[in-house]
Copies of this chain bind each other. A is one copy, B any other.
């Protein structure tokens, strides 16, 4: 294994030469950049990183990284990432994908990944729409937007991703948006350093099917968690998560020693 400190890698060192297929203005470009910045910040050797995604516009992300990657099946990033991490705990494993990928077809895997608490950082790029299949309502689409666009499922209230993760017992829960690359890359880096399952809910606009109103709404409402907010106080977390979808930053964090209950993290399968 390379010594972490011999060379200092730049964000661009983590990008390969492929041009993303995303639409101009898609939030996912910023998420891609934030991944590379987080890697550079931690100076992780490219070959030690593996990023596993599902299917969706967002799930194309690993294909643009100069790391190992597996663009798997719709909804299945987490099982595959968990198998990889269990067999190869020596790798830095991340998972990523869309809101549909995680909260529709992938719903069943999410609570169980959280229960197993592997040392994986999972970034959900939430554009509140099925982007790749051209704009159907996803589980996070707001009722107002569904009503306005005539999408199916108007009666169904949206899933609250960070609250879902917290309720299932995720030890590290954060939220930000693609418009804030500094925060996003910092949170990804924190997630990687956190020795358990780190969930990062990242609002990322789909300019084509959600429209720019999504970003405008984010920009209008976004704010940091209150100054006195304690992400270790579960009652406070409950109150915030249920009431405020625009508070950004680390929303919940279990003390490190409680989080890392798998003592055997760095021994790969023989």
Task: Please report A residues at the B interface, Cβ cutoff 8 Å.
Answer: 104-109, 111-112, 115-117, 139, 155-157, 159, 163-164, 167-169, 234-235, 238-239, 242, 261-262
Instruction: Return the contact of A116 from the options B105, B155, B234, B238 (Cβ within 8 A).
Output: B155
Interface of A is mostly: helix
Instruction: Return the contact of A238 from the options B106, B108, B164, B238 (Cβ within 8 A).
Output: B238
Chain B residues contacting A242 (CB-CB under 8 Å) are: 234
* Contact across chains for B112 and A139 when beta carbons are under 8 A apart: yes
Chain B residues contacting A111 (CB-CB under 8 Å) are: 107, 159, 164
Number of copies of this chain that the complex holds: 2
Nearest chain B CB to A112 CB, angstrom units: 7
Instruction: Give CA–CA (A156, B139) in the complex, Å.
Output: 27
Chain B residues contacting A164 (CB-CB under 8 Å) are: 111, 167-168
Nearest chain B CB to A54 CB, angstrom units: 13
Chain B residues contacting A261 (CB-CB under 8 Å) are: 155
Chain B residues contacting A112 (CB-CB under 8 Å) are: 104, 107, 139, 156
Chain B residues contacting A109 (CB-CB under 8 Å) are: 107-108
* Contact across chains for A116 and B235 when beta carbons are under 8 A apart: no
Instruction: Give CA–CA (A105, B112) in the complex, Å.
Output: 10
Chain B residues contacting A156 (CB-CB under 8 Å) are: 112, 115-117
Instruction: Give CA–CA (A120, B113) in the complex, Å.
Output: 28
* Contact across chains for A106 and B108 when beta carbons are under 8 A apart: yes
Instruction: Give CA–CA (A168, B163) in the complex, Å.
Output: 9
Chain B residues contacting A168 (CB-CB under 8 Å) are: 164, 167
Nearest chain B CB to A103 CB, angstrom units: 8
Chain B residues contacting A107 (CB-CB under 8 Å) are: 107-109, 111-112
* A155-B262 contact in complex given A111-B164, A163-B167, A167-B167, C-beta closer than 8 Å: yes
Instruction: Give CA–CA (A262, B155) in the complex, Å.
Output: 8
Nearest chain B CB to A114 CB, angstrom units: 10
Chain B residues contacting A235 (CB-CB under 8 Å) are: 235, 238-239
Instruction: Give CA–CA (A117, B168) in the complex, Å.
Output: 20
Chain B residues contacting A238 (CB-CB under 8 Å) are: 235, 238
Nearest chain B CB to A171 CB, angstrom units: 11
Chain B residues contacting A105 (CB-CB under 8 Å) are: 108
The contact sample of 29 A-B pairs, CB cut-off 8 A, is A104-B112, A105-B108, A106-B108, A107-B107, A107-B108, A107-B109, A107-B112, A108-B108, A108-B109, A111-B159, A111-B164, A112-B139, A115-B139, A115-B156, A115-B157, A116-B155, A155-B261, A155-B262, A157-B169, A163-B167, A164-B167, A164-B168, A167-B167, A167-B168, A234-B242, A235-B235, A235-B238, A235-B239, A238-B238
